[in-house]
Amino acid sequence: MNLWIPYGREGKLDIDLPDRNLLAVLEPNHVNPENSDPDRILEKSMSGPIGGLSLHEFLKDADRLLVLVNDATRPTPTARVLSLIADEIAPKEPDFLVATGIHRHPTEEEYIQIFGKSNYARFKSHIFSHDARDRDNMVYLGKSTNGTPMSVNKLGARADSILVISSVEPHYFAGYTGGRKSFLPGIAAYDTIEQNHKLALKPEARTLALKGNPVHEDMVDALAHVKSRAFAINTVLDKDHRIFATCSGEIHASLNAAAKKANEIFAVQIHEKADIVISVVKFPGDIDLYQSQKGIDNAKHALKQGGIIILVSQCRDGIGEKAFARLLSSAGSPARALEEIEKEYKLGYHKAAKLAEICLWAEIWAVTDIAPESLEQIYIRPFDSLEQAIGAAIEKKGRDAKLLVLMDGGLTVPVLEKRSGEI
């Protein structure tokens, strides 16, 4: 079978897969949007909210309005949303804060990607980027039940009304992106994010789960200390980044509704697991290995014990956040890395833990733009081409090895179909 594999923003890799080995090529499920007009989907959602006021009613009493938007690592259609509401919010003279969490600041090109050229030009003087490490720019609000100190960007503390524009898709330890994640980690202080993300080490912190997920529940608990009124616009995009549905309104109720819509697209059933899983992370999630790790974690759900994951991701910014890579490279082995994490947790170690856990029962190979020696130091075997990686994997696993391709591995979650009689 011939496949074109996306690589980077516009690149493609042309590969031929042996038919006898190919188990499945998985993409997010095909869905029909609630309306063929994406603007109509957005408008209907904002005027008919899930809990609370409509956006129009919400804005009436907004004296100090802050708009939280995702950074360039998410495909959120922020520009389209803003184009619909720009004239209504402009008289409020809102500030805009890019909810970066611990990601780097956007580049000029990425600001335009996020806001759209006309919106960026119109609101540029009121657009800011969050810096979690800037202690002087944080305001302490209180502690969650778990002891997470909720400190947020002063713009978030100062606003009386906060409009959140986000997108909802599966997340490997928070359950789903969207909603409350715009606050924590989005505009939270470094130590706040660190404390919350430590909970990702718990087995209950997993994809497609909100109830009982300690990371999500800590986010909700910590967010209770934010006294500003909030209105969330949670978009759900299909595999081609088109708006499938939008759930707006009260921040938690709208997220729960959006998560159900996201499952229709991204939870994809499989009949059996494979010996080899190729996981392709698409733009913009392929910005670095720190983000692309989600494609590795999703792939594990379709992989047999002792199997091989082949990550395909440009990683145009290299490794990304360095803490997890430093820990893995200095530990010497996956088992030793997990021992070190158990002794002392630092932000980023949850990534190291998830990767090290997989390395205890499977192999991780990769086709990226990262220097080979950098990958080898963190137990990932580099390859110059996908053809070489596939050939080597079949040679290692045997002539009849089964191979599965995740065409959008950063978002697609394989779910093993239950057999008859299973509970």
Q: What is the pLDDT of residue 34?
A: 77
DSSP3 helix / strand / coil % (the chain, rounded to 5): 40, 25, 35
Which domains are delineated in the chain? 2-29+271-416 (3.90.226.30), 38-265 (3.40.50.11440)
Structural contact between residues 33 and 238, judged by C-beta atoms closer than 8 angstroms? yes
Q: What is the pLDDT of residue 183?
A: 97
Q: Is the pTM higher than 0.75? A: yes
Token reading at 214: 């300690």
Read off φ and ψ for residue 355, nearest 5 degrees.
Answer: -70, -45
Q: What is the pLDDT of residue 420?
A: 46
Q: What is the pLDDT of residue 410?
A: 94
DSSP for residue 209: -
Q: What is the pLDDT of residue 36?
A: 86
SS3 category, 252 = helix
Residues of the chain with pLDDT under 50: 420-423
Q: What is the pLDDT of residue 419?
A: 56
243-249 and 229-237 as β-strands: parallel, antiparallel, unpaired? antiparallel
